[in-house]
Amino acid sequence: MEVIEIRLLMLSPTRGTFNKKKKKRKDELFLELMKELENFNESWNINGLNVDLNIKFNDYRTSNNEYLKNERILRGALIIEAEADLKKHLENKVKEYKKEAEINKLESIPEIESYFKKDFFVSLKKRIMDFLLCINLAYPCLFEVRELEIIFEDTYEESENINLYGQLSSDVLEYQEELNIPIVSILSIDKCWKWLSTKTNLFEGMGELPIDRALNAMTYIISSNGYDDIFYSMIGIEAIYSTDRSIDITEQIRRKIDILFGTIPGLRKKISKMYEVRSKLMHGSLKFPSKYYVDDATKEFEEFLFKDYMETSKVALVLLVGTIQQFIINDANQIEYEYKVKLS
């Protein structure tokens, strides 16, 4: 058995939080999350190979290294040791390939093995990304990754600087308090992973069910760069709620959210505003700068960005995360609504 080391460099969940009470609560939840991850016992099947996980948290706050101990941006590293019989797996893959196809004269055994090895590590990276989504669905306020490394036999098989799940991990719980939309909570990692494994097609990557398409949309939101997060949030929302073509989409979403979560004061108006903002962006009525614009934006655009856009993107994200959590809580992958009229 060989050991593949996966390193995730994590940002501090309390950076940018100045309220002492909130800061303390975030830190407590973060340590609860780390403890749950260290107790996470799972075996992944990656391209036909079983991979056993052992997760450890390297907390910079308790490090003997004074530089790391005083670090305020980075909180620590999550180390995932993945045990697998990779060499034997690659040997078998090469044997199967030789049986099923004639080897091109230009192809050597090492080249074929290298192909299957690369394919394995790409698939492993995809599964890690799925796992990070799971963590952020369960603890949507605490987990932001800056760097991902996959190391095997002292070689960096995958290495990437990322700003992954930043918006989701930093803000969702605070957003719901700010907006008075109390629909997001903390869930179990085990429960969330089991739900993703048995009730969705996330691991396959293509969205067969509406909930699959909502999850796929989230993978774009939480690593977005620019103004596209509101679009993907609303794609996810509409995938789940917009199922009746005879009813206006906005009205469907308002009605169904009322049924699912109960009446939340002011939420119907926020949903209508969400569609107004998206319409401004999509239909070209808003003057906005080019991607490489170097001067300050117009006053009109800045007011739109920091007021209307920011608020509505928060609303959309909270609604999407809260709705997906309801699927997890109820161990469901589809949702059906009935409209009833009773005359007496």
Q: Does an H or E element contain 129, and which?
A: helix 109-138
- Ordered DSSP codes for 283-327: TT-S----TT--SPPPHHHHHIIIIIIHHHHHHHHHHHHHHHHHH
Both 201 and 122 in one domain: the answer is no
The answer to whether 44 and 193 are in contact (CB under 8 A) is no
> Residue 297 has what pLDDT?
67
Instruction: HSE, CB side, 13 Å, CA atoms: give it for residue 221.
Output: 30
Per the domain annotation, does 13 fall within a domain? yes
Helix, strand or coil, per DSSP, at residue 208: coil
Token pair, residue 205, equals 């990557």
- Pick from 164, 196, 224: which residue ends a domain? 164
In whole angstroms, give the CA distance from residue 97 to residue 187.
43
> Residue 229 has what pLDDT?
80
Helix, strand or coil, per DSSP, at residue 15: coil
In whole angstroms, give the CA distance from residue 177 to residue 197.
31
Q: Is 223 left (phi over 0), alpha (psi -120 to 50) or beta?
A: alpha
Helix, strand or coil, per DSSP, at residue 187: coil
In whole angstroms, give the CA distance from residue 29 to residue 67.
24
What domain count does the chain have?
2
> Residue 140 has what pLDDT?
86
Both 145 and 213 in one domain: the answer is no
- Cβ contacts of residue 219 below 8 Å, gap of 6+? 129, 133
In whole angstroms, give the CA distance from residue 294 to residue 214.
35
Q: Is 162 left (phi over 0), alpha (psi -120 to 50) or beta?
A: beta
Each residue's pLDDT tens digit in the chain (344 positions)?
A: 899 999 998 888 877 777 888 888 888 999 999 999 999 988 999 999 999 999 999 998 888 888 887 777 888 899 999 999 999 999 999 888 877 766 555 467 788 889 999 999 999 999 999 998 999 899 987 788 888 899 998 888 877 666 554 445 457 888 888 889 999 999 999 999 999 999 999 998 888 899 999 999 988 876 655 667 888 999 999 999 988 777 888 989 999 999 999 999 999 999 999 999 888 888 877 777 777 776 666 777 787 877 888 888 889 999 999 999 999 999 999 988 776 666 77
294: containing domain = 180-329
In whole angstroms, give the CA distance from residue 205 to residue 127.
10
> Residue 247 has what pLDDT?
81
Both 52 and 126 in one domain: the answer is yes
Per the domain annotation, does 173 fall within a domain? no
Both 191 and 158 in one domain: the answer is no
Both 45 and 84 in one domain: the answer is yes
Per the domain annotation, does 172 fall within a domain? no
CA 314, 317, 321, 322 dihedral sign is: positive
Both 106 and 222 in one domain: the answer is no
Q: Does an H or E element contain 19, and which?
A: none
Token pair, residue 129, equals 């990304």
